[in-house]
Structure 1
Amino acid sequence: MPSPSPPLHPFLATVLTLCIAAGGGLVATALNLPAGWLMGGALAVTLAAMWGLPVMLTDRLRDITFVLVGMSMGATVAPDSLSLIPTWPLSLLALALELAIIIAISGWVLSRVFRLDPGTAYLSSFPGHLSFIIGIAATGIGNARQIVIIQVIRILMLTIAVPIGATFLPIAHFSPPAASAFLSPLQLVLLAAGCVAVGALFLKFKVPAGMVLGSMAAATAAKLGGLYTEAMPVPLVTMTFVLTGALIGSRFAGISRREFLAAAKGGLVATMVAVSVVTVMAGVVAQFVDMPFGQIWLGLSPGALEGMGALGIALGYDTAFIAAHHVIRLLMLSFAIPAVAVLVQRRAQRAQESHNLPPSSTR
């Protein structure tokens, strides 16, 4: 394995990461892959991290990325998208059912087939809410390092799989509506300020993915309220995709190839389980609601909100539907994760007590 590169100043490491992401996005876009700037950037930065290059995004730039993703999602919400809300209960029911199936099957496979301890197996199987999961793991439940690798593999594979699926499978994608007018610099500054303010408020109240959701809420409210009708400038949207790809790929920083390979099989299998379950559920829902299969799939997908939201923009889908389902998924997981963690911990305690019981005396 190549030796890790000497540490760089955070600014230089960030510039290097953005250049790699932009280069990967440019190649993928030149190959006419859907969401090329996002998928290509994520894959390029991941490979760079695996090769030992010092990739990273500063916390400030990460927050800027979240704001830009939220702004872009809010700016693409169509006023008539809210008329589809009556069809959401069926897809939300499918979402709840698929979460239970994914966690049960993935947890069983990781523990029985890959011999991970139950804490690591089941915390790795939760489709989302990574920061919450790591917080639970930090209390001593499971191997936090393995959990991170498996979860990040899931996020990366979904980011890559969706555009490839849109290219080679019968999953329609739609070019975003051609804009005739774009937000002016002053409008962008005012909209960004509102997005940051609402995002900070969401974070204060500990809303999951608060900066992304807060930014989207502000941008959506402003658009539906008639404060603007223009679209986001294309260069800014492209920059958002590059930043999001860099953010996804940089999560592999500090993970050696040996660590990655040790957890890769389990991570890939868990991701395949999740993708299979989501695909079946999306197929069932698509029989009863009038919306694109790909849009339903993204709404039910177990990927990161910022990544799936950016893919929704790139593929021309209704971001309101996608964001709403990811919010509900995070809320469901907020209750499910601690409940399963308690069950796993109690099971381990019972096994330990049973193991420590003195042998019964014989007469």
Structure 2
Amino acid sequence: MAFMSLPDPKMLLRLVFTIAISAFGGGVATVLGLPAGWLMGGALGVTIAAMAGAPIVLPDGLRNVIFVLIGMSMGASVAPDSLSLLASWPVSLAALAIELVVIIASTGWMLTRLFRLDAGTAYLSSFPGHLSFVMGIAATGVGNARQIVIIQVIRILMLTIAVPIGATFLPIDHFEVAQATDFLDPLQLLALALGCVAMGIVFIRLKIPAGMVLGAMAAATAAKLGGLYSEAMPTPLVIITFVLTGAMIGSRFVGITRSEFMAAAKGGLIATAMTIGIVTIMALAVAQVVDMPFGQIWLGLSPGALEGMGALGIALGYDTAFIAAHHVIRLLMLSFAIPAVVMIIRWQEQQATQLRHNSGQDKH
């Protein structure tokens, strides 16, 4: 009697094809200089292939591995000095926190009311950042992953187009983001992975939604902020994580309808316009209180990629430390906000289900 059946050769070929498409799309996007190229390009490549009817597949067993890798990557990417930065610019950082709440609440509300999306889909679509983390949670069954990725891709593409257009008229080349020089060794990676899996299992047992992703991220973040490690994830492993995540995102598009795509795309355009408007209003308010150029505040509060915002900051002679710190803190805030919002949504869904169940019993 065999303890484990061999994988179906056809399924294995389809899996290799899916990952190859994701790697190719990610490579092209990276060469073109798109932010999060390996993730965005991979997701777009597999999405296009899936909508064209190509044999796209991603087994459930592999998804759990991807969830752990996503959680590890998110935790390891948290800057160790994030907490100390909170005291540096209190007014603008308070505005950043308020802004995130307003963006998530207003765009989430708009997507539920105007486009009739469920709460999970609407609010995961509203987070301005941490795309791989958001999509990892969506892939566990929170919200409609297809609609979320369309809205998030539209948001990122709009910002990606807007920033270079602004930078074209400025005398700069590009802004180099600080690159990690120390990386986790194999033993550290193994220890971190085991800790992340253990915490993921605990979260699943506690019935926390997207337990494996959130548990892995919680363990990796706590270890990083607690000083247990300061090194970054090895670049090849990060690329593999993004390629696999892109394949997982794109595989959700098998069988998508055109009407479903168009509705989500319209939602993405409106949500992005709302986000930019909210950032502008908050920057104007902060500029009345602190002695700092409006442009510098706007770049610090904006949901765009650090590379683009930093490029504009250098060109305009702004304090790039201010801009970089606010983007680091934004991602740290989102690391705590995303799990909190997901758990609130799941709690509300359970309450609604219980209410319907009780109503049904009363009628009988």
Common topology (TM > 0.5)? yes
Q: Cα distance, 1:23 vs. partner?
A: 0.4
Q: How many residues align?
A: 298
Kindly indicate whether the alpha-carbon contact (under 8 Å) linking 2:280 and 2:298 is maintained by their aligned counterparts in 1.
no
Quote the Cα distance in structure 2 between the aligned partners of 1:248 and 1:159.
Answer: 15
Q: Cα distance, 1:34 vs. partner?
A: 2.3
Write out per-residue CA displacement over residues 239-271 of structure 1, whole angstroms, 9 at most, x where no aligned residue: 11211211221110233xxx2x12233211212
Kindly indicate whether the alpha-carbon contact (under 8 Å) linking 2:158 and 2:272 is maintained by their aligned counterparts in 1.
no
What corresponds to 1:274 in structure 2?
271
**In the alignment, is residue 324 of structure 1 matched against residue 336 of structure 2?**
yes
| Structure-to-structure mapping, 1:293-304, within 5 angstroms | 293=299, 297=303
What corresponds to 1:106 in structure 2?
111
Query: Structure 2: any 5+ residue segments left out of the alignment?
Result: 1-7, 125-136, 168-173, 291-295, 306-326, 357-364
What corresponds to 1:247 in structure 2?
248
User: Compared with structure 1, are the counterparts of its residues 177 and 216 closer, same or farther at alpha carbon in structure 2 (3 Å cutoff)?
Assistant: farther
Q: Cα distance, 1:63 vs. partner?
A: 1.8
What corresponds to 1:77 in structure 2?
78
User: Which amino acid is 2:107 matched to?
Assistant: I
Q: Cα distance, 1:200 vs. partner?
A: 1.7
**In the alignment, is residue 154 of structure 1 matched against residue 151 of structure 2?**
yes
Write out per-residue CA displacement over residues 14-42 of structure 1, whole angstroms, 9 at most, x where no aligned residue: 21111000001111112222221111111
Quote the Cα distance in structure 1 between the aligned partners of 2:146 and 2:229.
Answer: 41
Quote the Cα distance in structure 2 between the aligned partners of 1:327 and 1:106.
Answer: 20
**In the alignment, is residue 50 of structure 1 matched against residue 51 of structure 2?**
yes
TM-score normalised according to structure 2 size: 0.68
Kindly indicate whether the alpha-carbon contact (under 8 Å) linking 1:124 and 1:151 is maintained by their aligned counterparts in 2.
no
| Structure-to-structure mapping, 1:344-355, within 5 angstroms | none
- The more displaced of 75-84 and 324-333 is 324-333
User: Which amino acid is 1:322 matched to?
Assistant: L
TM-score normalised according to structure 1 size: 0.68
Query: Structure 1: any 5+ residue segments left out of the alignment?
Result: 1-6, 111-119, 135-146, 300-315, 346-363
Kindly indicate whether the alpha-carbon contact (under 8 Å) linking 2:121 and 2:142 is maintained by their aligned counterparts in 1.
no
Across the aligned residues of Structure 1 and Structure 2, the Cα RMSD in angstroms comes to 3.8
SS at match of 1:79: coil
| Structure-to-structure mapping, 1:307-346, within 5 angstroms | 317-318=328-329, 319-334=331-346
Q: Cα distance, 1:52 vs. partner?
A: 0.5
Quote the Cα distance in structure 1 between the aligned partners of 2:120 and 2:233.
Answer: 36
**In the alignment, is residue 127 of structure 1 matched against residue 128 of structure 2?**
no
SS at match of 2:39: helix
User: Which amino acid is 1:42 matched to?
Assistant: A
Kindly indicate whether the alpha-carbon contact (under 8 Å) linking 1:76 and 1:231 is maintained by their aligned counterparts in 2.
yes
Kindly indicate whether the alpha-carbon contact (under 8 Å) linking 2:22 and 2:46 is maintained by their aligned counterparts in 1.
yes
What corresponds to 2:219 in structure 1?
218
What corresponds to 1:61 in structure 2?
62
User: Compared with structure 1, are the counterparts of its residues 13 and 340 closer, same or farther at alpha carbon in structure 2 (3 Å cutoff)?
Assistant: same
What corresponds to 1:208 in structure 2?
209
Quote the Cα distance in structure 2 between the aligned partners of 1:26 and 1:33.
Answer: 10
User: Which amino acid is 2:303 matched to?
Assistant: W
Quote the Cα distance in structure 1 between the aligned partners of 2:16 and 2:263.
Answer: 33
Quote the Cα distance in structure 1 between the aligned partners of 2:297 and 2:215.
Answer: 26
Write out per-residue CA displacement over residues 145-174 of structure 1, whole angstroms, 9 at most, x where no aligned residue: xx665444224434544544554456xx96
SS at match of 1:9: helix
Q: Cα distance, 1:204 vs. partner?
A: 1.9
